[in-house]
């Protein structure tokens, strides 16, 4: 908060209402650092040019840009996951105790941010096994190789627990509450515990739904196609020349992908820790295309085609960024309400959606206009005749009905037996 205040010249550390700006500032910082990490890993896998392509794709990802605008854990989590992968690559090269301790600390930071990346522990194990296998000739007996691996595993484990304890002390202070909350969230995500705000995912197809969301909203069609091409290119490279960096990326993609693909709840932001992997795949695809033209002595095409592809990605990003060019629709709607809805009016909105108008300032707020809010829970799902009577009775007592989104109405067709 102090650093942010010095940068922007405003004091947001003294009051809670402005603390979200500090969180947004940090989210943007972590997202920027993630782009730099993507370049480093891309350069490690396929050279400097591939790293630059991947970093450009990561920087132009609409999904990452959106998440960097919010005070949420997603940008933080993505960075710590990618930093763990990078440190594991360094640890595999060096084999030193220090390198595995650093990787363990990074893993602990990722877990302290969000427990859904527990499969990252498997990646640490894979890295240790690969590092031990690469050094098997340095030891006279197999037991020495195993002992080397166990020592590194214990160091990484202790380091991760230490980092987790420092940055998520409440989990150790009240472990029963922490575990209970994790289980509760896992039940919500799996669909075994029904909550209204996840009903829009009932009946959606695993994997197919995520692919559609990634291509349509998260990345755009050009980047979406490049991701699939890059996945093929990376797989082909690993079959011909197994590379630790590529193996770790594939292991993370599969391990975490299973965790988020199978459950019923499929919020797009759950894919955030895979953004760097997708960017690296897209970067590899562009590099492979450029290399294909270069090997056929088509130098101009080797430059022009990647440029056109990047422009295609940038066009989709520019279209997405246009949402930030004007007044937020909810703010504009609130301003219209204050200008046109008489003071003292009774306003009804859906219980599971954001109600309008928003409180904009000291003079433009619901209390100043004496608005009365009357919420209706359409998710309650009483029997049809009772629902009709209840709706009729309630709307007869209000002046305005405001439906600020299709969140509730779009979820109802997913549960025809309920509504």
Please report which confidence band the pLDDT of residue 385 belongs to, taking 50, 70 and 90 as the band edges: confident
Q: Helices 48-59 & 19-46, crossing angle to 10 degrees? A: 150
Tell me how far apart the alpha carbons of residues 135 and 93 are, in angstroms, rounded to a whole number: 10
> Tokens representing 356?
């309008």
Please report which confidence band the pLDDT of residue 119 belongs to, taking 50, 70 and 90 as the band edges: very high
Please report which confidence band the pLDDT of residue 272 belongs to, taking 50, 70 and 90 as the band edges: very high
Tell me how far apart the alpha carbons of residues 151 and 56 are, in angstroms, rounded to a whole number: 39
Reply yes or no on whether the pLDDT at 134 is more than 90: no
Tell me how far apart the alpha carbons of residues 331 and 338 are, in angstroms, rounded to a whole number: 11
Each residue of 342-384: pLDDT tens digit? 999 999 888 878 889 998 988 888 889 999 988 877 777 666 6
Name the residue among 99, 39, 43 with its Cα closest to residue 243: 43
CB neighbours of 134 closer than 8 A, spacing ≥ 6? Answer: 92
> Tokens representing 376?
């209706």
> Tokens representing 308?
């056109």
Tell me how far apart the alpha carbons of residues 319 and 252 are, in angstroms, rounded to a whole number: 31
Region 66-82 average pLDDT: 93
pLDDT of 127 reads 93
Reply yes or no on whether the pLDDT at 400 is more than 60: yes
Q: What's the angle, vertex CA 173, arms to CA 188 and CA 71, rounded to 5? A: 55
Phi and psi torsions of 203, nearest 5°? 85, -5
CB neighbours of 352 closer than 8 A, spacing ≥ 6? Answer: 196, 197, 377, 378, 379, 407, 408
pTM for this structure? 0.88
pLDDT of 381 reads 60
pLDDT of 362 reads 84
pLDDT of 4 reads 55
Strand partners, 327: none
Please report which confidence band the pLDDT of residue 15 belongs to, taking 50, 70 and 90 as the band edges: low
Q: What's the angle, vertex CA 127, arms to CA 124 and CA 129, rounded to 5? A: 110
pLDDT of 5 reads 64
Please report which confidence band the pLDDT of residue 194 belongs to, taking 50, 70 and 90 as the band edges: confident
Region 143-167 average pLDDT: 95
Tell me how far apart the alpha carbons of residues 64 and 319 are, in angstroms, rounded to a whole number: 15
The 8-class DSSP code of residue 193 comes to: S
Burial class (CB within 10 angstroms; exposed 0-12, middle 13-18, buried 19+) of 350: buried
pLDDT of 10 reads 62
* Average model confidence (pLDDT) across the chain: 89
Tell me how far apart the alpha carbons of residues 320 and 315 are, in angstroms, rounded to a whole number: 9
Each residue of 200-223: pLDDT tens digit? 898 889 999 999 999 988 999 999
Whether the bond between 37 and the residue before it is cis, its omega within 30 degrees of 0, is no
Whether the bond between 310 and the residue before it is cis, its omega within 30 degrees of 0, is no
Percentage, residues of the chain above pLDDT 90: 55
Strand blocks (E) in 39-185: none
Tell me how far apart the alpha carbons of residues 120 and 81 are, in angstroms, rounded to a whole number: 8
Ordered DSSP codes for 261-309: HSSS---GGGGGGGHHHHHHHHHHHHHHHHHHHHHTT-HHHHHHHHHHH
**8 A C-beta contact, residue 44 and residue 82:** no
Region 59-85 average pLDDT: 93
Please report which confidence band the pLDDT of residue 165 belongs to, taking 50, 70 and 90 as the band edges: very high
Each residue of 245-267: pLDDT tens digit? 888 999 999 999 988 888 989 99
The 8-class DSSP code of residue 402 comes to: E
Reply yes or no on whether the pLDDT at 11 is more than 70: no
């Amino acid at each position: 908060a102090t650093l942010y205040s010095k940068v922007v010249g405003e004091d947001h550390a003294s009051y809670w209402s402005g603390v979200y700006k500090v969180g947004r500032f940090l989210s943007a910082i972590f997202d920027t650092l993630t782009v730099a990490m993507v370049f480093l890993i891309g350069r490690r896998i396929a050279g400097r040019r591939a790293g630059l392509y991947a970093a450009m794709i990561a920087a132009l990802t609409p999904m990452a840009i959106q998440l960097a605008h919010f005070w949420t854990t997603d940008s933080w989590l993505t960075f710590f996951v990618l930093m763990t992968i990078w440190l594991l690559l360094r640890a595999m090269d060096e084999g030193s105790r220090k390198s595995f301790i650093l990787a363990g600390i990074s893993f602990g930071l990722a877990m302290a941010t969000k427990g859904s990346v527990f499969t990252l522990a498997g990646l640490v194990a894979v890295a240790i096994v690969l590092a031990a296998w690469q050094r098997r000739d340095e030891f006279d007996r197999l037991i020495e190789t195993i002992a080397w691996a166990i020592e590194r595993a214990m160091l990484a484990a202790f380091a991760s627990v230490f980092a987790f304890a420092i940055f998520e002390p409440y989990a150790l202070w009240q472990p029963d509450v922490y575990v209970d909350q994790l289980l509760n969230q896992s039940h919500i995500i799996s669909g075994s515990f029904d909550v209204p705000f996840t009903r829009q995912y009932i009946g959606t197809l695993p994997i197919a739904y995520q692919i559609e969301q990634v291509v349509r909203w998260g990345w755009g069609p050009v980047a979406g196609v490049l991701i699939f091409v890059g996945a093929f290119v990376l797989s082909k490279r690993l079959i011909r020349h197994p590379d630790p960096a590529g193996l770790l990326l594939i292991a993370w993609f599969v391990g975490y992908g299973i965790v988020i693909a199978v459950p019923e709840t499929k919020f797009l932001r759950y894919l955030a820790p895979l953004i760097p992997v997708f960017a690296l795949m897209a970067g590899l695809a562009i590099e492979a295309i450029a290399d294909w033209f270069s090997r056929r002595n088509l130098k101009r095409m080797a430059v022009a085609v990647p440029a056109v592809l990047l422009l295609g990605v940038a066009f989709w990003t520019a279209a997405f960024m246009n949402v930030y060019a004007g007044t937020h629709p909810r703010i504009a709607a609130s301003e219209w309400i204050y200008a046109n809805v008489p003071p003292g009016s009774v306003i009804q909105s859906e219980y599971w959606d954001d109600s309008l108008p928003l409180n904009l300032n000291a003079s433009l707020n619901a209390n100043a206009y004496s608005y009365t809010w009357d919420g209706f829970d359409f998710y309650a799902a009483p029997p049809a005749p009772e629902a009709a009577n209840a709706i009729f009775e309630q709307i007869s007592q209000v002046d305005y009905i405001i439906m600020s989104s299709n969140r509730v109405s779009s979820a109802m067709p997913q549960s025809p037996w309920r509504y």
